[in-house]
Amino acid sequence: MAGLQRGRTEARDTEPVGPVDGATLSYLNRHVRGLVEFQRLTGCRPGEACRVRRSEIDTGGAVWLFRPTHHKGSWRGKSRTIAIGPKAQQLLRGYFTPLIEEYQFSPRRAVEELRAERAANRKTPRYPSHQKRNASKRKATPKRVPAERYNARSYFCSVSRVIEKATAEGLKLPAWAPNQLRHTFATRVRKDHGLEAAQVLLGHSRADVT
């Protein structure tokens, strides 16, 4: 069945999904930037990218296969396989840890890396008085601690906050959402390899959805 045509009903006409501006990448932390790049290279959904773990990736072939246990169609009993090509493989290797059950893109590790970078770039010595004062400020049981993985909402918020901050500083960064990365991937694959290839890589059961 064909979709509604623009202007034919009283339904709100939405704007077409556009490409993502890559200028935002340099302002994101390493782990959110990894999420963006992984989506760009695989066309997976934001929630799927957030759940990538080495334990769920079959690395036995030239193309790795990521089979998430939780995805959009898992409640229907459907399986989902995401192909990971050479460029995406190289990206993931930069996030591998000794623990294969850890999520590749982690807010906790992002915070740890930020603190380590700040400490390494510190200009003044860390005097005992400063360390004692900082220790007194830290809460033994803070209400909020960094999560082990991002979810679709925290991923979206991380991107939005960076864009808002850049805009407040006078930089012109267009707003975008992680789902647009999937649209961009689909458009590129369909143009280069046809509709059927795009349907398979996106995991759609029907071509009209693609």
Q: What's the CATH class of domain 24-121+146-202?
A: mainly alpha
Residues 6+ apart with CB under 8 A from 97: 109
DSSP state of 125: -
Domain boundaries, the chain: 24-121+146-202
**Is 201's pLDDT higher than 50?**
yes
Please, which residues have CB within 8 angstroms of residue 94's CB and are 6 or more apart in sequence?
A: 34
Residue 83 identity: A
The whole-angstrom separation of Cα 34 and Cα 71 is 19
**How far is it, in rounded angstroms, from Cα 79 to Cα 197?**
18
- Reported as a single tens digit per residue, the pLDDT across 114-141 is 888 887 887 777 667 766 776 666 665 6
Question: Rounded to whole angstroms, how far apart are CA atoms 130 and 2?
Answer: 67
Mean pLDDT of 89-100: 96
Kindly write down the DSSP assignment for every residue of 95-110, as one continuous string.
T--S-TTSBSS-HHHH
Q: Which of the pair, 104 or 145, is modelled with greater confidence?
A: 104
For 29, other C-beta atoms within 10 Å of its C-beta total 16
**Residue type (1 letter), 24:** T
Q: What is the pLDDT of residues 161-196, one digit of tens each?
A: 999 988 888 888 888 899 999 888 888 888 888 888
The helix (H) or strand (E) run that includes residue 64 is strand 64-66
Q: Which is nearest to 70 in space by CA: 113, 103, 119, 108?
A: 103
Helix (H) / strand (E) containing 44: none
Helical (H) or strand (E) element with 30:
helix 30-42
Mean pLDDT of the chain: 84
Burial label for 107, CB within 10 Å (0-12, 13-18, 19+), is buried
Question: What was the pLDDT predicted at 144?
Answer: 76
pLDDT digits (tens, 9 = 90+) for 9-64: 666 655 555 556 667 888 899 999 999 999 999 999 999 999 999 999 999 999 99
Say if residue 104's pLDDT is above 50: yes
